[in-house]
Structure 1
Amino acid sequence: MFFATNDGTRLAYEDYGQGRPIVFVASAMLCADMWEYQIPYFVEQGYRCIALDRRGHGRSDRPSTGYDMDTAADDLAELIELLDLRDVILVGHSMGGAEIARYLHRHGDERIERIALISAMLPFMRQTDDNPEGIPGALLDASIAALDADRPKWLARQAQAFFATHLGNDVSPAQVDFTMRQCLEVSPWAVRQAQRNVVSFDHRATLPEIKLPTLVIHGAADFSAPIDVTGRRTAKMIPGAVYHEYPTAGHGLFVSHRDQLNGDLLAFIEKR
């Protein structure tokens, strides 16, 4: 299914099941397909599951603009309003978690019941004078330069670390290859713009404003979003956040730790 945003960009989304709505927000370089092991599970539990392909990703249009955090948040808001969703459970991975935080700041929580931030790129990735916990800018810039120079090579070098297979996580070579192919199907322009924007956006002032029930899940072996920079800090900044840390998980825990993740999400969603 598709809808047109205010700037005319056609975005794809998928909609399955009946019941309380869960809106899944994918990470950069991935699309609705990344939730292969979550959506069927939650539909079987009696939930309506909706997943958006952000612009430049999946089946959505590939415009030259709109890869900033504000536009991403506004695109999400347009989908929620188009479907007239209420009491929404927002679940976001990586950049998707950052988009959820930005959505709440720009559009409020009237339609949202609770949120789950998984391996989220929050609160602020880049090291600055007032953010010494961040990743040094030289390292971030070098990684982005390597991505620009040879995207397939950049992905191949990080493929095993993405799932932390070195810690014994049972992720097949076929699954690793499949996920990397999904990443390569994204618009190169969208990848470049999204990566630059997500690592440089500062959410520190707005995270304490979140008053919704919040679940933060992060892997201790996350190479893409190091836990000391992201998950642990995010959980401390959001009032009352429930925090789960997976000792052997990397960034791709939606695959490597799917059963644990689904169970933790379900328990959080059903807790009243």
Structure 2
Amino acid sequence: MPEGRIAFEISGEGPLVVCVPGMGDLRGVYRFLVPPLLEANFRVATIDLRGHGGSDASFGRYDDVATGEDILALIKHLGGPATVIGNSMGAGAAVWAAAEKPELYSSLVLIGPFVRDIPVPAALKLIFRAALRRPWGRYAWRSYFRTLYPGRKPDGFRQHLLDIDASLSRPDYWKAFVRTTRTSHAPAEARLGEVTARALVVMGAKDPDFPNPAAEASLLGGKLGCEVLLVPEAGHYPQAEYPEIVSPAIVRFLEGGNHG
């Protein structure tokens, strides 16, 4: 990319699957999903968002559209079309990219998807922004991140959290993260009607990021005309919290489509 580099890992042979994490998270959130996808003979790329993990923090933009552009650039680089699996903000970016270049998509999986701006009281927004100010910002994010796993903490959770904290401890990366938190998902919502790829929506039934997770998943499923998987007890990262439920469902969905 002209402004910096996007870090990714790729393994396997076969149809391409690109896994995109959410804001404040790392590609390691897909550590339980990648092995089943490889076993099912997919080629899997996991990426870090701009200003996160191994990616650079030298970019001018950190929003859904910028991430969507990175997704499309990676698919072109690796050779598509691809299935894109997006979590949280990564889902919003994946939707925008699917509308922008439908020929590069074979299917779409949206996990805990932020594809529209959820109404939040102004006072809570101010509290959240104040909580992210240094020096207590990283502590605030770690504390909040734990609440996004209400069901159970998966294997490797502590190390994953340490990796996130190490990533955000770098000054430029913390600034990039704070800018990312101000992202609007309106560009993704505006293009939902243009998405033609097969889709699957995966939502944790206890996702604390949504006032009514089941209703949000049903709304999105209706707009996309697609299947919805509601994972009991799961929060914002069901692919890590309950991989024994989510991984087989995603593999079945991908194997049911045309991935030539």
Q: Same fold (TM over 0.5)?
A: yes
Query: Could you tell me which residue of structure 1 aligns to residue 6 of structure 2?
Result: 11
C-alpha distance in structure 2 between counterparts of 1:27 and 1:229, whole Å: 21
Distance 1:153 1:45 in 2: 39
State how far apart, in whole Å, the 2-side matches of 1:145 and 1:163 are: 23
1:68 matched to 2:63? The reply is yes
Q: CA deviation at 1:196?
A: 0.7
1:234 corresponds to 2:220: yes
Choose from 11, 24, 33 the match for 1:29: 24
Q: What is aligned with 2:158?
A: 177
Residue 206 of structure 1 and its aligned partner are, at CA, apart by 1.4
Which stretch shows the higher mean deviation, 228-237 or 259-268?
A: 228-237
Between 1 and 2, higher relative CO (CA 8 Å, sep ≥ 6) is seen in 2
Letter in 2 for 1:211: T
Gaps of 5+ in 1: 126-133
Q: Which amino acid aligns with 1:161?
A: T
Which residue of 79, 82, 86 corresponds with 1:84?
Answer: 79
Match of 2:87 in 1: 93
Answering whether residue 140 of structure 2 is matched by residue 140 of structure 1, we say no
TM-score relative to the length of structure 1 = 0.84
- The offset of 1:113, in angstroms, is 0.7
Describe how 1:158-173 pairs up with structure 2 within 5 A: 158-165=144-151, 169=152, 171=153
Native 8 Å contact 1:35 1:254 kept in 2: yes
Residue number among 98, 103, 125 corresponding to 1:110 in the alignment? 103
The letter for the 1-side match of 2:38 is V
Q: Which residue in 1 is equivalent to 2:202?
A: 217
User: How has the CA–CA distance of structure 1 residues 124 and 233 changed in structure 2, closer, same or farther, with 3 Å as cutoff?
Assistant: farther
Distance 2:230 2:80 in 1: 30
Say what the alpha-carbon RMSD is for the aligned residues. Answer: 2.0
Deviation at 1:26, TM superposition (A): 1.1
Within the candidate set 148, 154, 157, 2:143 is matched to: 157
CA contact (8 A) 2:206 2:232 kept: yes
For 1:194-209, list aligned pairs within 5 A: 194-198=180-184, 201-209=186-194
Gaps of 5+ in 2: none
| TM-score in terms of structure 2 length | 0.88
Code of the residue aligned with 2:71 in structure 1: it is L
Q: Give the drift of 1:217.
A: 0.6
Return closer, same or farther for 1:257/1:151 CA change in 2, 3 Å cut-off.
same
Shift of 1:159: 4.2
**Structure 1 match to 2:35:** 40
Q: Residues 186-208 of structure 1, C-alpha deviation per residue, up to 9 Å, x if partnerless? A: 3111211111114x535333112
Partner of 1:130: none
Equivalent position amino acid for 1:201 in 2: A
What is the CA distance between 1:9 and its match in structure 2? 0.9
* 1:249 counterpart = 2:244: no
Evaluate the alpha carbon distance shift between residue 188 and residue 44 of structure 1 in structure 2; reply closer, same or farther with a 3 A threshold: same
* Cα shift at 1:33: 1.9
Deviations 1:73-99 (A, max 9, x none): 11111111112222x111011111011
Aligned residues with identical type, % of pairs? 22
Looking at structure 2, the residues matched to 232 and 247 of structure 1 have their Cα atoms a distance apart, in angstroms, of 15
Give how far 1:53 is off: 1.6
- Contact kept, 8 Å, 2:64 with 2:90, in 1: the verdict is no
Aligned length: 250
**Contact conserved, 1:124 with 1:202, CA < 8 A, in 2?**
no
Contact persistence 1:219–1:245 (CA under 8 A): yes
SS at match of 1:15: strand
